[in-house]
Structure 1
Amino acid sequence: MDHLSGSDAAFLHLESPETPMHVGSLAILELPADYSGDFMLDVRTHIQERMHMAAIFQRKLVNMPFDIANPIWVLDEDIDIEYHIRHVIVPPPATRNTVDKLIARLHSSLLDRSRPLWEMHILDGLPVPKDLPEGTRYVGLYSKMHHAALDGMGGQVLMEAIMDVTAVPREPKKRMRRRESSKGDNYGIAELAASGVMHNISQSVKLTKNLPKWSKKAYSMLKPSINPDGSKAERMNWLAPKTPLNATITNQRSFARFSVPHADSKKIAKLNNVSLNDVVMAISGEGMLRYFADEGFSLEDPMLAAIPVSVRPEGNTELSNQVSIVRMSLATTVKDPLARLKAINISSTHAKTLMSDVKSIVPTDFPSIGAPWLVSSIASTLTRARVANSLPPFANVLISNVPGPNVTLYFAGAKQVSIYPVSIPYHGMALNITLQSYNGWLDFGIISCQKLMPDIHELAQHMTDAYKDLLELSLNAYGETPAVLSK
């Protein structure tokens, strides 16, 4: 049986109506002026022909008896394609803001757990840049997949299955014949219970073996640390300072997006001898500072960012989530932007060193006896008791940098112009900033709680301005000139 790992199941059990645990994206697709087909029909045909190439399309959950262990995945070949792929008209007037509000609404609803955990929405009526040929049509592809079913490796498999490098879709791989011995979801209670017990025993043995080493490393990662250069200026605390965004969230979302040139972002990194990820942290921190200043809020301690880090061993191709979280300082108490960038680099280097030491022993699966009801009860308590409103946060914001292809991709014959991630905010960390590199650009997707951050587009603008200012400062300091790009 294909059991959910502990980390996969955590996304399932932590889910509530206020905190959907699916990830998504908004792809902007371009149809040429001479296109005369039915794109909705093209998409459904395109996905149906390739369902067998990505496991997420055809597997669903079956719960264990009495929730004694985590659910299992089973094959579901009875897919209602019209349910999973839907047509949506953007409410007029079609502007960037109306599209973003629509994405926020679509992202706030839970996926149906009785079906495979994915949906796609084709958005018609998107605004089209005026410099394109008359008749060119922009279409949005908003997709959402449950995080329990999809991590970075699963996302890569999914992209390889549904995307092409030319406008003419390639021939899909042949569908493998289903073995007659496959039971689908027709397992008996005794069979499920026995499998759950055996899985828990095997995971208990693994956890016991690595627990001493893991506990020691976990302490070293969490404890307050001084910068590697010996400086005490940016000491990281046990907990992050409280901000208006570190509170209990509702089930309503706000979403904004923007893009910056990849080449100029790498130039900032190269000139300052830091990483591209450090540049992302710097513009995120500065954008948040400017946003909080507009709200009349200030901080005395540096903000901390939570950063997802892969712990997947080399050559491992399992589709289960294999990630951990590290924290780093955004150095927001350092006034000079270039000096702050250096301080961020020191903090990120320290975080990478700690993670490299612990990567091989971080558990991604663990015993799950009683986990479904226990973790779900914790998630319910976080919502009802509004615990996040009174407790100091572990981190102020989650920031994730997803590497993507540097070539033009096509979906069902349409050219992909941009791909904006749409991720997960949670209680105590209501802001999630995720970006993906694609074809010469860094596409940022920012998501939060509508109640806590109704003006999220202001943060997007502040981050864009912070990027431009950091580029100008870097170029002036080192005598360089920027690339001329627009999007």
Structure 2
Amino acid sequence: MRQLSELDASFLYLESDTTPMHIGGIYLFDASGLSTPLAFSTFVAYLRSRLHVAPLFRQKLKEIPFRLGRPYWVDDADFSIERHLAYVNLGTHGKQSSLMSLASRILEEPLKRDRPLWHITFVDGFRIESPDGEKEGFALIVKLHHAAIDAFSGEEIMGKLLEYTPTPQPISAPRPWLPRQEPSEERVFLQAGANMLRTPMQLASLAFNAAEATTRGLIQKQLHRLPLPLPLFTAPQSPFNRQITANRQIVSSRLELSRLKAIKGALGDVTLNDVVLGLCAETLSRYLATQNIRTETSLVAMTPISVRSSSLRRATGNQMSAMLLDLATAEPDPAARIRRIHRNAVDSEPYREAIAADRLTELLPSTLLALSARLYSELQVAQRYQPLFNVPITNVPGPQVPLYLQGARLVQQYNSAPLFDSLGLVVVAVSYQGQLTLNFTLCPDVVADCDLLPELVSRSLEAIEAAAAELGPEQGNEQPSTAQQTLTDELLGYLEKMVKGGLERFRR
């Protein structure tokens, strides 16, 4: 059995009925070239033959009695692929709008914890919209829990599930699989005890968790009286940082990757990721203008960084760092802003050293981390004071060659990410076959007029292209302020000081 890391487990503890913690994907396939439509039964057989590509497909959670520690991944001896699949037919004239509405409803539902944490809906009767007219197609709506994967490994797993040839390959028989015996309650209990002896902070986590039900009100009351470390919460107030509902919507915009690369070439010493962040910053600035909202300081993004080893890759779990990044939205020139974003990024310690997120979760066990996040939401810190950051932005490089499923070509994919209270918008950028898709996962009850976003992305790109053509060689290269440079380090330092002080008192 393999125990979840603190970071993986925190996604379990953060989940609620209105805040499901899974990563979603909507994959559109062009089936017009197939001699016969791909039947759902054929897809099931195909998927059976590829379950071996990642252990997560046949592993479920094993909880520790009395929550004495983090859960384990164990083989599901009762695994049945049918419990993870569904079939929907949109009829003879299924449109993309109908598909996206269906996907939003499906992605609002949390995954069931009594089985491996994934689910795929096969959508038939779907018509692909193309310049040549509508074509026969089908779609997959995929849910994978964030406790099992991050955005980078999820993209890798989907790449392994699909094929690189347009010629349908014979579906092989599933590889033999013998589930390992599930550990007994006694063994799990003893293992939890051994883990707590190795990591004394887990004792504090356990005590905190046991007392949570009776002391949360007292904690909230005391925290209301304490002055919050406001220098840490330097992100401005924004409409994205409000209490959310269970409603979800995915709004996407598709761009030519070559246009972004041309901007990168024009600006010189910046990365393609900087250009993507600059495009997001310009889009969000224009959105705020449509809502007659002006922020005095620049928006702050939380940007995950993969720390996966290129030589030893683990297909599951979260292997990422994160940094808080000033998006320089106070800079009026959208091209100079990209250079400033680059400076802000390279001056950030996690960017230089790719520090794993375990730096935080070693200091704060997952139960305390999740409780802190819940209190951050319940105390409405983002609304009453200032948010820690305004929006997460993840850029996931995808394959630049076409992928297929039994001869049907993958023509488009959309991706979603989890939301929780005070976080009503997440941006996931995914590239595939010369295209970049900006995916906005949002709560429509928080982000009003969200249908404006695709047009704003288009206008933003045009504005950046025009500004890049006129930008001087030094514009945007000015030294950023000290507060911008040390935002992440200040947060980490504060958390380290807080926990170390607690440990000193604990020793006494």
Q: TM-score interval w.r.t. the shorter chain?
A: 0.7 to 0.9
- The amino acid across from 1:110 in the alignment is P
1:383: how far off? 5.6
Partner of 1:349: 346
Given the superposition, is the C-alpha separation of residues 49 and 93 from structure 1 closer, same or farther in structure 2, using an over 3 Å criterion?
A: closer
**C-alpha distance 391-174 of structure 1, shift in aligned 2 (>3 A):** farther
Deviation at 1:14, TM superposition (A): 0.7
Q: Name the residue aligned to 1:63.
A: 63
Q: For the residues of structure 2 that align with 1:360 and 1:377, how far apart are their CA atoms?
A: 21
* One-letter amino acid matched to 1:266: K
Q: State the alpha-carbon separation in 2 of the partners of residues 258 and 117 from structure 1.
A: 29
Between the aligned partners of 1:88 and 1:454, the Cα distance in structure 2 is 30
Residue 28 of structure 1: CA displacement?
1.3
The residue number in structure 2 matching 1:143 is: 142
C-alpha deviations, 1:422-460, integer Å up to 9, x for none?
Answer: 112222221101011111011121111121024322123
Q: Which residue does 2:332 correspond to in 1?
A: 335
Q: Tell me which residue corresponds to 2:32.
A: 32
CA distance in 2, matches of 1:100, 1:472: 33
Question: How far apart are 1:464 and its partner, in Å?
Answer: 2.2
1:104-143 → structure 2 map (5 Å cutoff): 104-129=104-129, 131-132=131-132, 136-143=135-142
- Output the amino acid matched with 2:237: K
Give the drift of 1:469. 2.2
Change (3 A) 1:31 1:173: closer
Q: Which amino acid aligns with 2:457?
A: M
Task: Indicate the SS of the match to 1:242.
Answer: coil
Q: Runs of 5+ in structure 1 lacking a partner? A: 207-222, 225-235, 479-487
| Residues 91 and 126 in structure 2, CA contact (< 8 A), matched pair in contact too | no
Query: For 1:359, what is the secondary structure of its paired residue?
Result: coil
1:73 matched to which residue of 2?
Answer: 73
Is 1:302–1:331's contact at 8 Å kept on the other side of the alignment?
yes
Q: 2 CA distance for matches of 1:399 and 1:16? A: 23
Shift of 1:237: 6.7
Deviations 1:231-282 (A, max 9, x none): xxxxx97420011111121111121111101111111011111211111111
Rounded Cα–Cα distance in structure 1 between residues aligned with 2:173 and 2:361: 33
Candidates 270, 279, 282, aligned match of 1:286: 282
**TM-score when normalising by structure 2:** 0.79
Is 1:404 aligned to 2:398, yes or no? yes
Q: Return the match for 1:244 from 227, 239, 242.
A: 239
Residue deviations 1:396-415, cap 9 Å, x none?
A: 11000001111000123310
What's the offset of the Cα at 1:41? Answer: 1.8
Matched residue type, 2:260: S
Hey, what's the Cα distance between the residues in 2 that align with 1:366 and 1:173?
44
Q: Distance in 1 between matches of 2:363 and 2:297?
A: 38
Partner SS, residue 363 of structure 1? helix
1:349–1:380 distance in 2 versus 1, CA, 3 Å: closer
Q: 1:287-366 maps to which residues of 2 (within 5 A)? A: 287-313=283-309, 315-318=311-314, 319-351=316-348, 353-357=349-353, 359=355, 362-363=358-359, 366=362
Letter in 2 for 1:168: T
Alpha-carbon distance in structure 2 between the residues aligned to 1:331 and 1:383: 26
Conserved 8 A contact 2:10-2:370: no
The answer on 1:15 being equivalent to 2:11 is no
**Residue matched to 2:181:** 183
Letter in 2 for 1:283: L
For residues 310 and 411 of structure 2, the distance between their equivalents in structure 1, rounded to whole angstroms, comes to: 32
Q: Does 1:431 align with 2:429?
A: no
Structure 1 residue 387: Cα displacement: 4.9
Write out per-residue CA displacement over residues 61-105 of structure 1, whole angstroms, 9 at most, x where no aligned residue.
Answer: 111000111111111243333331212244897444433332222
What is aligned with 1:481? none
Over the aligned positions, Cα root-mean-square deviation in angstroms equals 3.0
Aligned residues with identical type, % of pairs: 27
Of Structure 1 and Structure 2, the greater helix share is in 2
